Amino acid sequence: MKLKNQDGQIAKLIELETQRQKETLQMIASENHSSPAVREALGSLLTDKYAEGYPGKRYYGGNEFIDKVENLCIDRAKKLFKVEHVNVQPHSGSPANMAVYLSLCTPGDTIMGMALDMGGHLTHGAKYSFSGKLFKSVQYHVDEKTYLVNYDEVEKLAKEHKPKLMWVGFSAYPRILDWKRLGDIADSVGAYLAADIAHIAGLVAGGVHPSPVPYVHIITTTTHKTLRGPRGGMIMVTKKGIQKDSELPRKIDKTIFPGIQGGPHENAIAAIAICLKEASLPAFKKYAKQILLNAKALAKALQEYGFNIMSGGTENHLLLIDLRNKNITGIDAQNLLEASGISTNRNSIPYDPAGPFKPSGLRVGTPAITTRGMKEKEMKMIASWIDEVVANPKAAKKIAQEVKKLCKKFPLPK
């Protein structure tokens, strides 16, 4: 009521967005529904406190309890991911990745990462990003036939260009990466290896996806995707990372503050601590397993309707659909599904002939609908709706009503 009385316009918009999420299927692979406890911490009085610096070394007074919050978050992250050092202050994934660059590289150094149009991330060396502008970026690709990472190419490029820093990770790649081979390649050329697990952090924490920890020096992640927390980021240093450079934790911390950020968002850090506790519980392991089961069931059902699933399937929470055989663009499919109550995002596919603005692909994920309690039965139902609306756009209104009925059976976390 306080918000409604103070600012009715914002209150109404929040109400409308809440209703939208309640009545529609959130199937964007990078989205999820956080718990009420996470949201409560995010909206707490911790948002009012300045805490520049780190626990025990603040530049402001009054941080006795804030220090305990941040230390608790750090300890939980170290235990959950089995790492030696964690910085929980990055505001999100891109600042976390920037901090890694500025800790290890100087402008003009050679870096490597998966190409954006192959499923990689902007901050892994894309020419549009600071990472591609400040550094000499070498990009690796997926195989043109299998759409799997071409490890032979990665090794060849690494030996030819000898990057100082290599990135592994993705935003639209549905398969498990060979952490060990990538680690061996980086070691062979003396490169730092950073794993960006923003998309799969919850799957790693839940024990249903191999962890990169033994094979990489640094791990970055967001906290709001499969980890099901607030929007934030973390940087982790592994035992292997400290063995390579004992100063690595200090370098990372110094780059975050005072290097690129000022006061940390301690309300978000408290919310991250809560999601880390949630991720350590048996229920989360079941949840992570169901994400995979749902993704596989959805991929199989769509294939039965004639959809071309890139790489032939999925081993994580997302699938990438090549829509060319359905004679529809990614943006048109996205808009049709939105009208049907199914939220997805257009996405380029590897070697996409259409370009990034009207790409041929659609990216679909199962984390949020799994949080609502949906299982394989519902995936078959959703696949049938996707097929129906792509074949007959006039069916969108009817499907939207069916989606509302389904959502009513599986309410948001409360």
Which residues are designated catalytic? 50, 52, 196, 222, 225, 231
- Percent composition of the chain: helix, strand, coil (DSSP 3-state, to 5): 50, 15, 35
My answer on whether omega of the bond before 214 falls inside 30° of 0, hence cis, is no
- Return d(Cα 256, Cα 193) in angstroms, integer: 19
- Return d(Cα 227, Cα 395) in angstroms, integer: 34
- Phi, psi of 146, rounded to the nearest 5 degrees: -90, -20
**Structural tokens at position 313:** 């399937």
As a residue count, the chain comes to 414
Q: Which H or E run includes 58? A: strand 57-58
- Return d(Cα 148, Cα 135) in angstroms, integer: 26
**Structural tokens at position 139:** 């990009």
Count of alpha carbons within 13 Å of 111, Cβ hemisphere only? 32
Cβ contact 164:109 at 8 Å? yes
- Return d(Cα 287, Cα 282) in angstroms, integer: 9
- Return d(Cα 179, Cα 12) in angstroms, integer: 47
The DSSP output letter for 57 is E
Q: Look at residues 150, 34, 115 and name the one whose alpha carbon lies nearest to residue 412.
A: 34
